[in-house]
Chain A
Amino acid sequence: MSDVPAQPPPDEIEIGWQVIDPDGNVVQSGPISKAHAAAWVGELIEAARNEGAQE
């Protein structure tokens, strides 16, 4: 029995946006856009900790 990849095949990627021509045809599309904040907030918290340690 072979290992099965966990990720879906490319044709199952959810479309996040599309460009449609006046006839209703999809001329371009792209996957979901993600906004992630964790890394950014983590940097701020670390900076605040370092600032506090210096005081």
Chain B
Amino acid sequence: MPPSDVTSLRDYLGATPHCLNHFLWSPTSSIALGELVHGSTLGDKLPMLSGRSVLITTRDQLTTALTLIELDGVVRRLTLCPPDLRYEYLPSLIAKADIDAIVSDNDMEHHGLGIPLLVKCALEIGPRVEIRLDRTPTEWVLLTSGTTGLPKMVVHSLASLTAAIKTSKTESPPVWGTFYDIRRYGGLQILFRTILGGGSFVLSSVAELLGQYLVRLGANRATHILGTPSHWRRALMSPAARVISPQYVRLSGEIADQAILDSLRLFYPQARIAHAFASTEAGVAFEVDDGFEGFPAKIVGPRSGNVELKVDDLSLRVRSPGTASGYVGREDSVLADDEGFVDTGDIVELRGNRYYFLGRRGGVINVGGFKIHPEEVEVVINRHPAVQMSSVRSRKNPITGSIVVADVVLKAEYCSGTNVSSAGVKEEILRICRDLLPQHKVPALLNFVPDLDLGAAGKLARHA
């Protein structure tokens, strides 16, 4: 343990043996984690940032990672700006989080925001300036990936962000890869797992196509690869899906249906396929690796472990040391209830001895008074072997208020044929829906589309 009672990311790094053999890779560079124990990317600018509320707006993920490691335990508050954040939201975020310094790898875009200190960083490691800085437990602020409006600013600590990470030293440390961005909760978890657990990490880039990233994952022999079910459906459409051979495949952030779990098991027979539940607010709640969608009912209820789950008013609630402590600048909105449970807004249904996710509380389609979760229809559509992915949405209707519309992407081998065969597939998909769903949940219209819009967080874009 370090002499101070504040443990920072750099302390964890210093405590990890062999970290000169562990790397962070970007498309163009690589950095050995050990270089950071005694090196610095901010150099003599680090003391200026001490105790401040800092916004990170770096574009490159590797530069972001280096900066985060250096600033944790030094600055008062660290707010991570995801790459897709709309510029018009910045002034509001800056005001709410009392931001008085910006660290960025580009200096063009922050003039006029009225920030007293702008610090430019670059992907270079220089000698560390040995000045004794006051150590402070840094407050981490992550932005949610809400579909519309100003993102919520969720407050975490290093302790809450690392609560779910179990460090077990293995002979061959993992090589992590994820389609997530490290400036969001899911990606940041992987950076921390790399630092705390010992291992390497192949960082993605917004400038890179998914196929190119898969090739890099393969070249760096990535063993542990994570993404949303939508990311994985995309990945399996890529010829480069064959160049990776992961030992561990994890899905989270959306409902992992049986079809994608089965497809991944067939495609990567050597891998452990797991789906996890985690959110920026609730933290990492659980992981299921029995190969089936949903989760065992026995994990709900009081438990001796760290994470406690309950189902109340249809939705899943989580209480754990990984839960965020609140929102910045939104004293009116409550993150957790009086007992510390976070309402995830994810609606679950108990069938037999297993819970299944139905969809989001806010995403309900109302067809003449019948409530439908888009996800429960997608799960059924995705059962058809020709379907790569699907998105179910609401369409306004003068008779029933709304109707259910499905946009479906077919697997490549089904697209090459004539329209006649796709008409047959359409009828088959609708037949499966009619067999398994009540009438009002069956798509009234079903369109074949070449692709679907994934938001920056890798989840199907849903429009209210």
Chains A and B belong together in one complex: no
Interface residues of A (CB under 8 A from B): none
